[in-house]
Amino acid sequence: MSKLLALWIFLFLLIFIHELGHFLMARLFKVQVKRFAVGFGPCLLRFSRAETNFEWRLLPFGGMVKMTGEDPGEAATLSAADFHKSYHHLRPWKRMLIAVGGPIFNIVPALLLVALLQKGLWADSVKLKRLPLVVDAHSNEFILTTDPQKRFLKIYLEELDEQSLGGIFYLHESLGTKTLRVYIRHLNHLMDQGFYPLDLKIDHVEVGSLADRMDIRPGDVIVGVNGERLKSFEDIVKKILAQEGTFSLRLLREGQLLELDLNSSSKKIGIHSAGVYHNLQGKRHAPVADEKNNVEITSLFLGLLRDYQKLFSGEFHPEQISGPLMIGKVVTAAMDFGLATYLFILAVISINLGLINLLPIPILDGGHVFLCFYEMLTKRRPGVRGLKMAFLFGRTFIIILTTGALFNDIMQLFF
pLDDT value of residue 193: 53
Tally: H helices and E strands in the chain:
11, 14
Q: What pLDDT is stored for residue 370 in this prediction? A: 92
Alpha-carbon distance 112 to 124, whole Å? 24
- Mean of the per-residue pLDDT values for the chain? 72
Most confidently predicted of 119-128, 170-179, 344-353: 344-353
Task: Give pLDDT tens digits for 2-35.
Answer: 778 888 888 899 999 999 999 999 999 999 999 9
How far is it, in rounded angstroms, from Cα 6 to Cα 172? 36
pLDDT class of 153 with cuts at 50, 70, 90: very low
**176 band by pLDDT with thresholds 50, 70 and 90:** very low
Predicted confidence (pLDDT) at residue 105 exceeds the cutoff of 70: yes
Q: Cβ–Cβ contacts within 10 Å for residue 30, how many?
A: 9
Residue 357 has pLDDT above 80, yes or no: yes
The predicted pLDDT at position 314 comes to 59
Phi, psi of 53 (to 5 degrees): -90, 120
pLDDT at 284: 35
Summarize pLDDT for 253-279 with one digit per residue, the tens.
877 888 888 775 655 677 777 654 333
CA dist., res. 173 & res. 194, Å (int): 7
More confident residue, 6 or 36: 36
- pLDDT value at position 214? 80
Identify the weakest region by mean pLDDT among 6-20, 46-60, 221-235. Answer: 221-235
Is pLDDT at 50 greater than 50 in this prediction?
Answer: yes
Q: Is the pLDDT of residue 113 over 50?
A: yes
Provide the 10 A C-beta neighbour count for residue 168. Answer: 21
| Statement: 134-273 belongs to CATH 2.30.42.10 | yes
Q: Residue 142 above 60 pLDDT?
A: no
**What residues are paired with 55 via a beta bridge?**
37, 46
pLDDT at 388: 84
List, in sequence order, every beta strand (DSSP E) within 184-293: 195-197, 202-205, 221-225, 228-229, 246-253, 256-263, 271-273
Q: Give the whole-angstrom CA distance, residue 86 versus residue 106.
A: 25
**Are the C-beta atoms of residues 180 and 160 closer than 8 Å to each other?**
yes
Instruction: Specify the pLDDT at position 56.
Output: 93
- Cα pseudo-dihedral 234, 398, 351, 242, rounded to 10: 10
| Stretch (H or E) spanning 239 | helix 233-242
pLDDT at position 197: 66
pLDDT category, 182, cuts 50, 70, 90? very low
Lowest mean pLDDT among 12-21, 29-38, 126-135, 297-306: 126-135
Q: What is the pLDDT of residues 184-209, one digit of tens each?
A: 444 555 565 555 666 677 878 888 77
Judged on CB neighbours under 10 Å (0-12, 13-18, 19+), 413 is exposed
33 forms bridges with which residues in the sheet?
A: 67
Which residues of the chain form CATH 2.30.42.10?
134-273
Q: Return the number of other C-beta atoms located less than 10 Å from residue 69's C-beta.
A: 20
Mean predicted confidence (pLDDT) in 367-390: 88
pLDDT at 299: 52
**% of the chain exceeding 90 in pLDDT:** 19
d(CA 243, CA 284) in angstroms, rounded, equals: 44
**Residue 169 near residue 180, CB atoms below 8 Å:** yes
Strand pairing partners for 151? 147
Q: Residue 122's closest CA among 241, 261, 5, 284?
A: 284
What is the C-alpha separation between 119 and 113, in angstroms, rounded?
10
Taking the whole predicted model, whether its pTM rises above 0.75 is answered as: no
Cβ 201 vs Cβ 219: under 8 Å: yes
Report whether pLDDT(226) > 50: yes
- What is the spatial distance between Cα 314 and Cα 321, in angstroms, rounded to a whole number? 14
pLDDT, position 255: 73
